[in-house]
């Protein structure tokens, strides 16, 4: 698990708080995270911040240090494996829905700007070169190991401190994995996955933030409010949404501060113990994380919504066929989808808060040259007409609005498709 974040010493993520048991025998100074002693110092500081009264690893979780060349070879092998994998109807459908392309957002002058740095199409926003240069460490739940990438020639202000902050985040994941299984397998939809990962990454981000405050104090810098920081980060993300990359990646990036906000709220009520208890009460749908400055938590439906549409006259509809798939995307992906179609933050956010369920069905022909997608979304109140206007402005999408639903359809077939109800999502 890698950490999606901005510079925590010169950017927004600067703040304060301390908690937990003292580990005074480990002096806290700037150090090189490729070294065992430094890894231990960061680890004991994380234990202190989390209030852990014991060391579950007896000194340090498993840590492997690799070179930049080693890491590059790993990424290249993963990319090659993915490229050789079977074709998938989701690839074309997500592209048709603009989930995998950076948004074009009008600026104040009325002209358009594309997504900023790191807005490549696809579910990642950086090339292999960027990842090799900028990733300090990551945690792999499959082998229960933290991998640290050595950057011997890297220069810049606070490079070692930034690496220590990243290692602290990954150490939280190692500790989480001792408490519950990070290889969660009982997730039935993208919405459920994003909700689960929000609490996992939000927890690591929250304690990463507390650790950053310790770094700031070590450097003689002033502290900011740890409990307010997730809101500050979210405000920045909402205003600068075009810099988050594609809507699919933007949802991934927003999980961190949304989850950290949830944990900060728990911490405010009862410290580290409340954070631990917050896991059991965490929302199982992403709509439960869409809490604005008013503090009101949107209602979370008890069951999955199931009502779907397919193209029967042009494309295969057999659920066992590899050319069709279904999912529940949830409120967070709805929010980023709307932003990608130039809906304002306020309108997209308040609309996503009224989400009560959805079913997204994607189809392709057997050559994967023609694709289609039908996304039926249910709301607790009628969706605003401005949403329909924004989604249909370019003529690419067709939107049918009823009292409490939107049916968004798109296809790249030369023949206009006929959409009919289906039981595929059951």
Q: Quote the pLDDT of residue 210.
A: 96
Model confidence pLDDT, tens digit, residues 374-419: 999 999 999 999 999 999 999 999 999 998 999 999 999 888 889 9
Locate 302 and state its tokens: 């008890």
DSSP 380: S
346 token code pair: 């306020």
| Res 242: pLDDT | 94
Asked if 99 contacts 378 with a C-beta cutoff of 8 angstroms, the reply is no
Provide, rounded to the nearest whole percent, the portion of the chain with pLDDT above 90: 69
Per DSSP, what are the bridge partners of residue 66? 149
pTM of the model: 0.88
Any idea where the domains of the chain sit in the sequence? 36-282, 308-422
Q: 196 with 280: CB under 8 angstroms?
A: no
Please give the structure tokens belonging to residue 186. Answer: 């009982």
Other beta carbons less than 10 A from residue 223's beta carbon: 15
Question: Residue 42 in contact with residue 164, Cβ under 8 Å?
Answer: yes
Average pLDDT, the chain: 87
Residue 266: pLDDT above 70?
yes
Question: What per-residue confidence (pLDDT) applies to 126?
Answer: 54
């Amino acid at each position: 698990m890698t950490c999606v974040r901005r510079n925590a010493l010169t950017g927004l993520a600067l703040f304060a708080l301390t908690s937990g048991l003292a580990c005074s025998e480990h002096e806290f100074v700037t150090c090189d995270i490729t070294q065992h002693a430094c890894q231990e110092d960061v680890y004991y500081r994380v234990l202190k911040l989390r209030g852990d009264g014991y060391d579950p690893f007896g000194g340090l979780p498993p840590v492997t240090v690799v070179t930049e060349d080693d890491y590059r070879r790993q990424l290249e092998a993963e990319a090659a494996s993915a490229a050789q994998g079977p074709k998938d109807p989701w690839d074309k459908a997500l592209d048709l829905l603009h989930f995998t392309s950076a948004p074009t957002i009008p600026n104040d002058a009325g002209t358009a700007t594309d997504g900023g740095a790191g807005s490549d199409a696809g579910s990642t926003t950086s090339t292999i070169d960027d990842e090799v240069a900028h990733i300090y460490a990551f945690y792999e739940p499959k082998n229960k190991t933290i991998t640290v990438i050595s950057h011997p020639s890297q220069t810049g202000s606070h490079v070692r401190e930034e690496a220590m902050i990243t290692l602290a985040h990954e150490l939280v994941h190692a500790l989480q994995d001792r408490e519950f299984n990070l290889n969660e397998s009982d997730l039935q939809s993208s919405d459920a996955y994003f909700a689960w990962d929000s609490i996992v990454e939000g927890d690591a981000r929250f304690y990463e933030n507390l650790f950053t405050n310790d770094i700031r104090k070590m450097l003689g810098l002033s502290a900011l409010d740890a409990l307010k920081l997730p809101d500050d980060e979210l405000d920045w993300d909402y205003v600068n949404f075009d810099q988050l990359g594609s809507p699919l990646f933007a949802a991934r990036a927003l999980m961190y501060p949304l989850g950290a906000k949830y944990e900060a709220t728990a911490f405010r009520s009862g410290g580290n113990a409340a954070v631990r208890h917050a896991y059991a009460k965490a929302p199982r749908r992403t709509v439960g994380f869409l809490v604005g400055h008013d503090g009101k938590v949107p209602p979370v439906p008890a069951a999955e919504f199931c009502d779907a549409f397919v193209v029967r006259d042009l494309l295969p509809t057999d659920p066992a066929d590899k050319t069709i798939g279904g999912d529940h995307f949830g409120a967070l992906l709805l929010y980023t989808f709307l932003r990608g179609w130039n809906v304002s933050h306020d309108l997209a956010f308040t609309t996503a808060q009224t989400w009560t369920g959805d079913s997204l069905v994607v189809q392709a022909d057997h050559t994967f040259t023609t694709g289609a997608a039908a996304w039926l979304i249910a709301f607790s109140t009628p969706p605003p007409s401005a949403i329909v206007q924004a989604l249909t402005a370019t003529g690419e999408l067709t939107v049918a609005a009823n009292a409490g639903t939107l049916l968004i359809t798109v296809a790249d077939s030369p023949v206009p498709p006929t959409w009919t109800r289906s039981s595929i999502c059951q």
